[in-house]
């Protein structure tokens, strides 16, 4: 946050998760208005950006489950000063990693053949569905993470406290952990 004239840039990103962590972020409710006055929101899962922008802080929801996530998280890391793993899927793999007990082929067969009712068959090609990684990985196994906000999802209060601490130059307190 060394910009003098510009507001800190805040981004959020969504990898392999259910979007519940983003819903918790939206539960900041009126506090979002205060936050919007203090930061420039530069990316979220709804922004259709060709490249991930430079960000001072990025909250990343979800685990790294496929090749697209892998590429995205490396891109985010390159362009982000402070990267926060948002929620247990990003922190540990959590729900997303439940498939790690099975092989990729078994997972695809179950989803696209055994349980499919309308369109049956495994989509082919990375253009349709990004290729699944052999194992779902928490974000810190792939790139360096600066802070961890645990919970499924983390509470809006925890997210808010973490962001306010960082914006005011303090080390985040409470549930937030920092490793390394
Ligand atoms: Fe959803 Fe929980 Fe994972 Fe967040 S941590 S993406 S709420 S399952």
Q: Encode pLDDT of 37-93 as tens digits.
A: 999 999 999 998 889 999 999 999 999 999 999 999 999 999 999 999 999 999 999
Answer whether residue 179 shows pLDDT above 90: no
Could you tell me if 144 and 83 are in contact, meaning their C-beta atoms sit under 8 angstroms apart?
Answer: yes
Q: How crowded is the C-beta side of 63, counted as CA atoms within 13 Å? A: 21
On the question of pLDDT at 138 being above 70, the answer is yes
d(CA 103, CA 68): 19
State the angle between helix axes of 156-167 and 31-38 in degrees (0 to 180), rounded to the nearest 10: 20
Q: Name which of 44, 55, 20 is nearest 166 in CA terms.
A: 55
For ligand 1, say whether the CB of 39 is within 6 Å of any of its atoms. Answer: no
User: Phi/psi at 66 (nearest 5 deg)?
Assistant: -145, 175
pTM: 0.92
Ligand 1 pocket test, pick from 88, 92, 154 with the greatest ligand atom count within 8 Å of Cβ, gives 88
Domains of the chain, CATH where assigned? 6-99+133-178 (3.40.50.700)
What tokens appear for 15 in the block? 């990898």
For the CA of 17, the closest atom of ligand 1 is: 6
Question: Mean pLDDT, to the nearest integer, of 151-155?
Answer: 97
* pLDDT recorded at residue 103: 93
pLDDT at 68: 94
> Is residue 128 over pLDDT 80?
no
């Amino acid at each position: 946050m060394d910009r003098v004239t510009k507001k800190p840039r805040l981004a959020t990103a969504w990898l392999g998760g259910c979007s519940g962590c983003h819903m918790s972020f939206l539960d900041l409710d009126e506090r979002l208005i205060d936050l919007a006055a203090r930061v420039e929101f530069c990316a979220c899962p709804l922004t259709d950006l060709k490249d991930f922008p430079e960000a001072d802080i990025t909250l990343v929801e979800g685990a790294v489950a496929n090749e697209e996530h892998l590429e995205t998280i490396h891109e985010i890391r390159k362009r982000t000063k402070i990267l926060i793993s948002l929620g247990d899927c990003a922190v540990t793999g959590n729900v997303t990693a439940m498939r790690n007990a099975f092989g990729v082929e078994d997972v695809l067969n179950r989803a696209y053949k055994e349980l499919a009712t309308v369109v049956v068959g495994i989509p082919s090609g990375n253009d349709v569905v990004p290729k699944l990684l052999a194992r779902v990985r928490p974000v810190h196994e792939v790139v360096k993470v600066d802070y961890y906000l645990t919970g499924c999802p983390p509470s809006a209060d925890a997210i808010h406290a973490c962001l306010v601490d960082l914006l005011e130059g303090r080390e985040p307190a409470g549930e937030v952990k920092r490793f390394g």
